[in-house]
Structure 1
Amino acid sequence: MGLRKGQKELVERYRGGKCAIPAIPGGGKTHCLSLWAVEMIANGYHKPGKILIVTYMNSAVNNFKQRISAELQKRGINGSKDYFVSTIHGLCLQIIKEKPDLIIANEEFEILDEVSKIHLISSAIDEWKRYNHREFRLYLDMENLSSSKIGDVYKSWHEKLCRIMLSAIGDFKVKGITPSEAKNKCKSLGRDSILSWASDIYEIYDRRLKMGGYLDFDDMLYNAKKMLQTDEHLLEKYRKKYSFVCEDEAQDSNYIQNEILTLIANGNLLRVGDSNQAICGSFSSSDFTLFKSFCDAPDTTVYSITQSSRNTRDIIDLANYFVKYVRENHPVHECRDSLLPQYIEPVPKDDPRPNPVIDEYGIKAAVFESWEEEAGGVVDQAVQMIKKHPDKTIAILVPTAWKMSLIIDILQSRKAPFEQLDNTSGERNKTLKKLGRIIDFLAVPEDGEKFSNMINECILTGEYDSTVFTELVDETETVGQRELLSEFIKKYPVEKILYPMGGIIEISDVPKELLQTKIWKDFTDSLDIVRELLEFPNTVVEKLILFISEKLRFDREERAIAQKVAGDVRYLMNQNPRWRLSDLAFELLSPKNMFNYFAGIVWDLKGFEPHPGVVTVATYHKSKGLEWDIVFLTGLNNADFPVLLEDKFMGEFWFLKEQYKNPQP
């Protein structure tokens, strides 16, 4: 099976009890976990129950399923009912659906996604502010704010407070603290305390959740744990159902997830993770010390995966040096235990997948005076790499999403091929943008520009010859087919295109160069679909959305997104009777629209594969788990990665009083 050190021990030896697999980056943990599951199923070691694998992302769920299924098929084993792969939220939803009446009066409960949760918390803050406006202003540096900026600052502080409350309420729930308990614990802190505010807002938010029959993701974990702890028959059912429990990405686990899996496992618990990759603790309730404690427990068997063939020896040496530097020389002594002494080893020379070898030292460094200079220099280097190595994948990684915009602007000015890897662009929101363009046109069908946008982005999506020749007074000019069609659509009355006198567009009104193109034929052939869309009743918007997905032959993923939008729109229209088609179009076309979260889940299930000769632009966070041949790391300075406690941190807000920006312990 070509297993390496650590992998071999797991697959061949682990047959029960508590087991930890600390795995370095690129160690092939998904590969060996899948082989372990197949080996267990092939030999019946998992019986009488199933193997449960809990992982962090939906894309990882898909990856595990595909790998295990493929290996079982290769061995001629029908084991599809012998394992179950899920996220922790998927598992908790399964548990809650066993007896929903135990936790909520309405069995038809709805799960509140993260976007809707932020909206609900925002409205809870609005209610709280009506009685606590003095407290809301308390942290603001009013003496140094001009009157012209007050409105913008209030809005910004409200948005930041939403994020703070999102985190605080999540922490309350993960620790099993109810709204009334939170109020009691915080009442001695005084009205100036953020935690005191959080307890008030938590109470309002919880009341609104219950009124709407909603559960958020934190509720799912809390209630699943509560049900398992209080219902012995339910707990026994799950212990019999799953003989082995495996937790992937265990470094990103939290207290309540840890308890749920420990309860179900009944002793047969396998945890896999890398504490040095615990990136979720800065913005969620994850706690990497849980995995570390599990590894250190005397009754835990530990098999370490330390060999990786992902990188060159130079990169491995640099990564190991960084770990060593942090542990021995970090200027803040309290930070020296933040990384574990877990070092990457290259694979043996006879490994079938050896480490890459290049002719020169593969790590380069450059110093720049400003972000603008750095962005330009990095893009220039990336463009050179595309020309020099068109068969290689390339990435530019940035610390934050806002820094991405300048990189993209420069790539566009250089006409360099790129793909943006974030929550609001490219493949992730393609379906939402398509729906937005169509509904934007249907809301104002006489608008030629909206008609042109819809045709080019939603109907005529194929490739066309880039140029045709159009005669001017003294010369000929080269223009694109799309440009020629767009100019005609924008200037010519829409009603004369869709419903011309005599049923045919007046040929004399159409530029003769356009008449000769393939795009013109495709355009006229597509007008029947446009008329069908226009004539469909738009009084029931959710049905219109489903009709659009049917007429434009959306694929499976696009249909799933359209169905989610249709369901949400029904709720939105009930909540906001004044909402019109134009409002929905505006929301769908907004980069940070409320539907992005679900679209991102669907996109994650498909996974991401970088394309050779195309620059991927992503944040460091989004790049986790992905691989490229050539990578540019930007923003490596103390402004983006603070080192000392006196450095500026990302969470500091310029409009706060100095003592609240970065309070020292």
Structure 2
Amino acid sequence: MAEKRQLRSSQSKILTYRSGWMGISAVPGAGKTYTLSRLAADILLRGEIAPDQEILIVTLVNSAVDNFSARIATFLQEANVLPGMGYTVRTLHGLAHDIVRQRPEAVGLAEDFSIIDESEATRILEEIAAAWMRSNFHLITGYLSPDLSEQKLEDVRRNNLPRLVQNIGLQTIRYAKDQELSPEALRLELDRLPMPLPLAEMGWAIYADYQRALRYRGAVDFDDLIRLALLALKLDPALVKRLRYQWPYILEDEAQDSSRLQEEILRHLAGAEGNWVRVGDPNQAIYETFTTASPDYLINFRRTPGVISRELHESGRSTLSIIRLANHLIEWSNRLPPEDLLSKGLAYPLIRPTSPDDPRPNPPDQPEKITLHSQAFSPAEELQKVAKSIARWLQEPENQGRTVAVLSSNNKRGFDMVDELRRQGVDVVDSLLRSTQATRAAASALSDLLNWLAEPDSPSLLSKAYQAWRTRGDLSKEEKMQIPRVARQLQALRRVEDFLAPQPGSGWPQESLAREDPGLYAELIRFRDLLQRWQSAATLPPDQLTLTLAQDLFTEPSDLAVAHKLSSLIRQSASIHPDWHIKQFSAEVAVIARNQRRFIGFSDEDTRFDPDRYPGKVVVATIHKAKGLEWDRVYLLAANNYDFPSNEYDPYIAEWWYLRDQLNLEAEALAQLKAALSKNEYDFYQEGEASRQDRREYVRERLRLLFVGITRARRELVITWNTGRNGNLTPARAFQELIAFWNKSHG
């Protein structure tokens, strides 16, 4: 059934699933995407759902959407079943958007509500935080170090505190929305306290101003989208009943990164008697710091009475030596005493190698290909050492066709590595470090054209459409200078129809303009011809209209690829919403243009990055971006006690030199909020405790990050460390433990 391929024993157990709730813990390389996709295909092939029903697959990132869809389609095709029917794959934000769009009025939104992207949300917060600082600087001075000189105090006030205040506001907003609290509801909770909590008050003030700014724009942010989707489900039993029928099976991927609201949404959709499968790896929960996500939701779900608990513990990704290193970290962290900050930072099960007859067995073991450098390097020496090692490795005949990556814990170190590799003449792929601004610009240009076609009598939208069209491609200096002039002319039009369909004697531009400014006149006529062509194309189906516009907008293959992806998404939307017009599709494309990374996604950053496409080149990425990927040889940089701290004495990235008592004000602000919201009279705020607790959570997350980095390697692994900018860093404690274990095992 589905695909005639030998199953591992753990996969076979999962594919016996028929109904109910099931929680699965999966180790790196266990094939969870394969297993979950095959489970979906098996459910379809057994005829478990009606023709008007679907299996709902929910995943974390946009890249996984296409991956799941392609896998399921392959299984169905091999069973001679037409793919594309009976299942839908959504990110959480895509699912929330679908739910809210069905009943926007029920949650207080207009039909044409918009979603602001992270960059716009950040700009709003920056302005609000700056305004708060101008009026309330005195309220935060008590948290500053008393050792600051007047000069340093002024520097901190100007360069450091605005960002800190902004971050405190952001954490308050996220937490309040996760708790489903409006600014008004949070104000009531704060007012019942016997004395004010200053950081909570600061957070509330920024939250209130932020929500006012969103209401002014008629917009919601990503956190609102999730919150309102749950609210819609709570308020509308008929909607819940309809969606439960539509999606009788829910399969959830990457459940280790689930939040309370995500769990609640899926719990409502599944129902107590429904079918809900959750799979994830708590040891790959590396996005938890200052988010509302936690691996505890999956862990506790698996422990719930009545929930089927399974493990995907067999992995064919790595050699036995690499598996031993990863497993030793798990065992070591679980042997540490409870008071140790790293205690139980990693969870069982251990990774098990595959059987010898597995279709994807572990690579042949070569312990000599594991190198754990104990010697100290300066930051520059570490980069040089790694770059020279890679250059030699790429030249060895046995490595032709193999893949290699350098992984760092932050982007800056990654870019430093890219520069050094290029100095050594090594071919580098750094797309995982870079943003997707070009893709966003392409989508935005299409959005501007569709927006004008939806309202063709608007001079301002006409002006934006011109700028979207004209700013694409290589332009001369003169052409660039002319763009604002033409845009202003179009913006100033009283009647757009006088420009589009000029009547004798009343049309514009007048022929006199041809004599006065022939360049401007020619540009306007050329653009008018295009507009008339686009208006004629407006009768086409929306996906074909998108492609027609793209032919006039783009010449770059990457931009045209974006347009094709957009047209496909628009075609899907048209099939779901046959009553939509250009205005609705324009709004959808605008959402994609602004929010693609966390919402729709089609960029190089969010589509499936395939390391095997780059043999002979070195991929440089952060460990976070490398999650889900694998290479033959992996270098891990900077395994020191700053990048991977382990105790209260190690330097800690969230503790700022200008604050007193090593306080982490973002953690302290959240602790004050939790105290304000607690109904337990014995829960009270104690300054400093939240900072200490956050340090524990952070060092455990960094241990998981090291684990993720190690498990990206198939055959060969090299780990180095550096002494930092001031030369005072030491090897990370977890790295020291690995060195001792390795030397003892292979001494």
TM-score tier, shorter chain, comes to: 0.7 to 0.9
Q: 1:240 to 1:649 in 2, by over 3 A?
A: same
User: Does 1:243 find its partner at 2:248?
Assistant: yes
Corresponding position: 1:103 with 2:98: no
CA–CA separation in structure 1 for the residues paired with 2:328 and 2:378: 27
* Change beyond 3 A, Cα 1:384–1:594: farther
**Is the counterpart of residue 284 in structure 1 residue 288 in structure 2?**
no
Q: Check the 8 A contact 1:135/1:191 in 2, yes or no.
A: no
Which of 115, 118, 122 aligns to 2:122? It is 118
Q: Deviations over 1:487-531 (max 9, x none)?
A: xxxxxxxxxxxxxxxxxxxxxxxxxxxxxxxxxxxxxxxxxxxx9
Judge conservation of contact 1:110–1:215 (CA < 8 Å) in 2: yes
Q: Could you tell me which residue of structure 2 aligns to residue 195 of structure 1? A: 200
CA contact (8 A) 1:533 1:548 kept: no
Report the 3-state secondary structure (helix = DSSP H, G, I; strand = E; otherwise coil) of the residue aligned with 1:46.
Answer: coil
Q: Deviation of residue 211 (structure 1)?
A: 1.5
2:653 is aligned with 1:646: no
SS in 1 for 2:621: strand
- Provide the residue aligned with 1:608 in structure 2: 609
How do 1:90-489 residues align onto structure 2 when only pairs under 5 Å count?
90-141=94-145, 143-145=147-149, 147=151, 150-151=154-155, 154-187=158-191, 188=193, 193-266=198-271, 267-329=274-336, 332-333=339-340, 335-366=342-373, 367-388=375-396, 389-422=399-432, 424-425=434-435, 428-431=436-439, 442=475, 444-445=477-478
Question: Could you say if the C-alpha distance between residues 445 and 163 of structure 1 is closer, same or farther in structure 2, counting changes exceeding 3 Å?
Answer: farther
Residues 7-18 of structure 1 correspond to what in structure 2 (within 5 A)?
A: 7-11=11-15, 13-18=16-21
Whole-angstrom distance in 1 between the partners of 2:369 and 2:523: 57
On the 8 A contact 1:423/1:600 being kept in 2, the answer is no
SS of the residue corresponding to residue 44 of structure 1 reads coil
Inter-partner Cα distance in structure 2 for 1:95 and 1:136: 41
**C-alpha separation between the residues in 2 aligned to 1:2 and 1:184?**
60
Q: CA deviation at 1:163?
A: 3.2
Question: What is the rounded CA distance, in whole Å, between the counterparts of 1:100 and 1:555 in structure 2?
Answer: 33
Deviation at 1:269, TM superposition (A): 1.0
Q: 1:647 to 1:562 in 2, by over 3 A?
A: same
Two-structure CA RMSD over aligned residues (Å): 3.5
For structure 2, the 5+ residue unaligned runs are 446-467, 482-521, 535-548, 570-582, 588-592, 666-687, 693-747
Compute the displacement of 1:602 (Å).
2.5
**What do the CA deviations read for 1:271-327 (whole angstroms, capped 9, x no partner)?**
111111111211421011111111111201122111000000000001000001111
Distance between the aligned counterparts of 1:246 and 1:598, measured in 2?
19
Aligned identity (percent) is 30
Deviations 1:347-371 (A, max 9, x none): 0111121100144422101122322
Number of residue equivalences: 551
- Write the letter of the residue equivalent to 1:362: K
Matches within 5 A, 1:442-591: 442=475, 444-445=477-478, 549-550=553-554, 555-559=559-563
Q: Does 1:657 align with 2:660?
A: yes
Which 10-residue stretch deviates more, 362-371 or 433-442?
Answer: 433-442
The question of whether the paired residues in 2 share the 8 Å contact of 1:423 and 1:597 is answered with no
SS at match of 2:241: helix
Contact 1:104/1:213, CA 8 A, preserved across alignment? no
Give the 3 Å change call, closer, same or farther, for CA 243–560 of structure 1 in structure 2.
Answer: same
1:370-428: per-residue Cα shift (whole Å, max 9, x none)?
22221211111111111122321111111111212321221121121111144535xx4
- State the one-letter code of the partner of 1:406: D
| Aligned-pair CA distance for 1:145 | 4.9
C-alpha distance 118-407 of structure 1, shift in aligned 2 (>3 A): same
1:183 Cα offset (Å)? 2.4
2: distance between equivalents of 1:659 and 1:189?
27
Residues 431 and 561 of structure 1 are in contact (CA less than 8 Å); yes or no, is this contact kept in structure 2?
A: no
Output the CA distance in 2 between the equivalents of 1:232 and 1:244.
Answer: 19
* Paired residue secondary structure (1:622): helix
Give, in whole Å, the separation in 1 of the partners of 2:58 and 2:606: 15
In structure 1, what is the Cα distance between the partners aligned to 2:351 and 2:628? 16
Equivalent-residue separation in structure 1 for 2:418 and 2:600 (angstroms) = 22
Question: How far apart are the structure 2 equivalents of 1:423 and 1:96?
Answer: 33
Change (3 A) 1:383 1:139: farther
Distance 2:565 2:162 in 1: 30
Question: Could you tell me which residue of structure 2 aligns to residue 484 of structure 1?
Answer: none
Q: How does 1:28-67 map to 2 (within 5 A)?
A: 28-47=31-50, 49-67=53-71
Gap change, CA 1:432 and 1:271, over 3 Å in 2: closer
Provide the C-alpha distance between the structure 2 equivalents of 1:183 and 1:420, rounded to a whole number of angstroms.
46
Q: Is the 8 A contact 2:173 2:207 kept in 1?
A: yes
Contact 1:20 1:271 (8 Å CA) reproduced: yes
Distance in 1, matches of 2:654 and 2:598, equals 23
Residues 636, 167 of structure 1: CA spacing in aligned structure 2 closer, same or farther, 3 A cutoff? same
Indicate the SS of the match to 1:445: helix
**Aligned with 1:621 (options 608, 619, 624):** 624
Structure 1 residue 597, shift from structure 2 partner = 7.6
The CA deviation string for residues 582-615 of structure 1, in whole angstroms up to 9 with x for no partner, is xxxxxx9xxxx99988897522453111201111
Is the CA contact (8 Å cut-off) linking 1:561 and 1:599 kept in structure 2? no
In structure 2, do the counterparts of structure 1 residues 534 and 329 end up closer, same or farther at CA, with 3 Å as the change threshold? farther
Contact 2:94–2:599 at 8 Å: present in 1 too?
no
Contact 1:249 1:272 in 2 (8 A): yes
Question: Is the CA contact 2:342–2:646 (under 8 Å) kept in the aligned structure 1?
Answer: no
Q: Verify the 8 A CA contact 1:122 1:162 in the aligned structure 2.
A: yes
Q: TM-score, normalised by structure 1?
A: 0.75
Amino acid at match of 2:253: D
Deviation at 1:657, TM superposition (A): 3.1
Structure 2 SS opposite 1:315: helix
Higher relative contact order (CA 8 A, sep 6+): 2
Q: Which runs of 5+ in 1 are unaligned?
A: 449-530, 572-587
Q: Which amino acid aligns with 2:113?
A: F
Cα pair distance change 1:337/1:534, threshold 3 Å:
farther
Residue 616 of structure 1 aligns to a residue whose secondary structure is strand
Distance 1:629 1:339 in 2: 24
* Contact 1:312–1:357 (8 Å) recurs in 2: yes
- Equivalent-residue separation in structure 1 for 2:561 and 2:156 (angstroms): 39
Larger deviation: 655-664 or 80-89?
655-664
Cα distance in 1, alignment partners of residues 71 and 265 from structure 2: 26
Aligned residue in 1 for 2:545: none
CA separation in 2, counterparts of 1:215 and 1:332? 42
Change (3 A) 1:216 1:431: closer
Kept after mapping to 1: 8 A contact 2:315/2:362: yes
Q: What is the aligned partner in structure 2 of residue 574 from structure 1?
A: none
SS of match in other structure, 1:6: helix
